[in-house]
Structures are given as structure tokens and as C-alpha cells.
A and B are shown apart, each in its own frame.
Chain A
């Protein structure tokens, strides 16, 4: 077990499992609540871990999560590798919590999560779109995103914060 694990239990991590590194490339998986993330990230930082990436998954159709999941991946700098992924479930109307005050590098990753999945991040210093234009409508990496917005081609010129009405569409699985 890694040194950081005992700190994590104190930081509010709910459950942890070990994963076979040779198969998955990850050593540990944890589940935490969104509000605990700054403390969890602080425990990793104190143990000398860096934040490899943050990503969001739209699991509304895959698991019975009924929402999104934000995954934070931490790793030790250099060798030996000790990779932890902390998974935070975020319902459709809930928000994630920013860890940009702990890891400045989280700033852009959290903006990307907002940009691509429309998950709001509490306490973020500058939450705006990162990759898509500022006046873009919709959240491209959502499974129900439909790339047929006629206004996409004619820049609306207006920054829309409210989510545009989106049609349900089956996800892009192609069994053919």
C-alpha cells in the first residue's frame, strides 16, 4: 500500500480498491464526495503527488449513476509510479468543487470539464470555456449532444450560459 492511503481515509475518501497495474495502468481507485476534493487533493499534494489530469465522463446511460463522474488522477513524480484515480459522482444538477487552489494546474482541466460536459465547478477562479468559442452553445462531450445546431455555423455573438435545449439522441454506438 502507498504512504498516502492513511491520509486519504482522514480526508473523506469513502472507499478504495487496488487495481492490477499490469492490466490497467492504475494502482488505486477511490471514491469521494465533490465537497471533499480540496482536502483529498491537499493530502496528495502533501505526500508529493502531482495531478496528472482531470476528466469528466458522461455516465448517464452507462451506469446507474444518473449523472456525470469527474475523475482526478494523481501520480508520484518520477519513479516508482503510484497512480491513484479519485472518482467523484456529480449529478446533473450538482457541482464539482475546484481544487485549483491546491493544484494550479487544475485550473484548465476544470475549465475543460465545464466546457465539454457542462459540469459547473464551485470555487473556480475563472470558470469559462477553454477550447470551444466563448459564444458556443451546448456541451460537446455530452452523450446527448447533437451537432446539428444551425447557429453553430453562424456565430451567435452572444455568450449563452443557460444550457440550450438539447434533443435526446442515442449515443454513437455503431454495432454494424
Chain B
């Protein structure tokens, strides 16, 4: 049974002369990767949207079925290259939980510091590029300047800038020294002042407010319909965060707030991310203050990583939301199935519910505000 292949040509119904279809992407600067939106337009108003994904599919789930657990570890930070540390450490924690491996205290603290630093760098990149999407270049330069400082700090201990492979089953690969901790503390002090500056530069900017307020409302109902998570959900006023709901690692020892905002529009999502950066700084400061001495790798990690037979699920709060790993083990070195539940996948799938009725020019503002990372959607 065959049918003609769909073409890239725009489909136009000859009977209907008032509406038309338009491709946004696959190559479009505001999609931050290769994403195609088929927009059905009436003038400049969007009637319907059909996101086409898969251009960056790299078969991570298939790869996981063909290599053992340790060999999959470098893949994890490449799923979402902007918060790769959280993915990398999250995968380690998933295997540790399944294997019941105890992680030394110091390693837990290092994971917290590195994970939260990575979260700030991811939010910073979002902040910069979002303003770029909206036409403001200044903030982009500020944000990338600060982000570079974080990348340098993480580079000094992990050896990589984006695609970290720092986690190990039972700890982390390298101990941090006092220079690292001092530079983290210095950065934290410096960055608190910068956030104030960002608020002055962007949050209080009239153009920015007009561009984002009341635009792209993702209400609390989307949480039930689509399981939207992360900053997108918290911007709708629901205080849900994996770090609080089911604390992994040692997150239950830290004092931080789940930042929420009202309205669920682009501006609310901006406010949530700005607030989260401050909360992350608070977590980092507590971790730097309390970090104990000791080993960073568990002394007795089984040579063969063979999680008990059956299903395992582990979730972490990535920069974009709930990242879950569903692992089906048959007791051997290789998983039978490893499903990766990524937040951006869900968020892009809500676009047919969010975009209709908005203006074409707001598409860029809305798409940017949900902070999508294409490789994470396509996996």
C-alpha cells in the first residue's frame, strides 16, 4: 500500500482563497535548531499548527539497547546539551538507585554544585537568546559573558564545556579543589548583583513587557492535558518541582523555594527562570559552605552494572522540566528498553493547543519562551 510522499511545497486549497499554509523552519533562527512548524494562517492569525520534528533524531534509545550501562553514560549529556550535567548526573543517580550504590557525601555536594551551576548557565542561554529572538541584542551579550564564566568554572573540573561526562556510578570522576569552590563562591556573589542588573535591563523594559505579557498563555489545564513540567508549569502557578516532590540526591537538605508566577504567559516564564537562577545560587552557597572532606567515588562499585530485573523509573528536574528515565532491565549488562522522557518533547507537543488564535509575530516569542532544545525533543 503506497501513497505519494508528502512534499515540502506549501499545500493550498484552491477553494479557500483566504487562508494559507506557511512553513516556519526547518531552518529558522528562532527555532534554535531544526524544527519545522506548518502554520495554517488567516492573514497573520494562526488557525492551526502542525509541528514536524525528528530532524535531529540520533537514536539514543536504540543505542542504549546495544551497549552496556556505562557505555551509554557519555550519551546522556548529549541529549540536552545545554543542561548536560543534570542529565549526566541524573543517569548516574538512576543506575545507583537501581543498584543500591551508596554515594559519598562529598560527591553528592559536588553534584549539587555542578548541577545548579549548569542550570544557571542553561537559563542564561535561554535569557540571552530569547531577547535575541525578540530583537534585543544587548542582553544576549551580557548573558553570554556570564555564561562563559560558568563554563570556565565547570571546564576546570570536568574538562569539557558543554557535553560533560563528569558523573560516575557511585560518585564523580574528579575531586574539586579549593580554587574551584572559591571561584564558585565568587561567581555566586558576582552573579547576584548581575541578576538585579538583568531585571533593570530587561524585566522593567517597557517594550519587553508589551511583547511578552498576556502572550502565549499556557494555563494550569495544560498540566493535566499534556503533563507540562518545569518553568512552563510553575509559570502557571503550580508549585511542582521534582527536587521538592521527590527529592533525589541530597536536595532535601537544602533550603530553597519553588519559584512560581501567575498568568502562564511569556512574561511569567521569564520571571520564573530569573527567580530560579537566584534559588540555584542559594543552593550553591549552602553547598559550598557545608561541603565535607572525603572520597568522591564509592569504594565498592560492582564491576558489572546489572540492575535487578524489571522496570525502574527515575526523574530529575532538568533546566526545562521533568526528565525521566524508564529502564527495563532483564538482569544483564544491557537494558531491554530505555525510554527517555524529555520535557521539551512535551512542550512542543502542546503547540497545537497554545498557538492557534495568536499572531504570527508572536510565534517566535512563544516558541522562544518555552525554551526548547531540539536534540532533546528528537533524542
Contact = CB atoms under 8 A, between A and B. Distances in A.
Interface stretch (B30-38, B201-209, B330-338): B330-338
Interface in B212-249: 223-227, 238-240, 244-246
B1 A161 contact: yes
Contacts of A24: 98, 310-313
B312 A25 contact: yes
Contact of B337 (A50, A57, A172): A57
User: 8 tightest CB-CB pairs across the interface, nearest first?
Assistant: A105-B226, A172-B66, A131-B54, A25-B313, A55-B339, A50-B227, A79-B245, A53-B341
Contacts of A29: 311
A73 B311 CA distance: 12
A159 B337 contact: no
Interface centre among A25, A78, A81, A141 (most CB of B within 10 A): A25
Given A53-B227, A105-B346, 18 more contacts: A25-B312, A25-B314, A29-B311, A50-B224, A50-B227, A52-B324, A55-B337, A79-B245, A105-B227, A131-B378, A133-B54, A141-B62, A159-B5, A161-B1, A161-B3, A173-B334, A174-B333, A175-B333
A160 interface: yes
A85 B311 contact: yes
B315 interface: yes
A134 B57 contact: no
Interface string B318-361: 00001010101010111011010100011001100100000000
**How many B residues are at the interface, by size bracket?**
35 or more
Contacts, number: 137
A151 interface: no
B257 interface: no
- The winner among B1, B224, B308, B322 for most chain A CB atoms within 10 A is B224
A137 B246 CA distance: 41
Interface residues of A, number: 53
Interface in A77-111: 77-81, 83, 85, 103-105, 107-108
Interface in A1-55: 23-26, 29, 45, 48, 50-53, 55
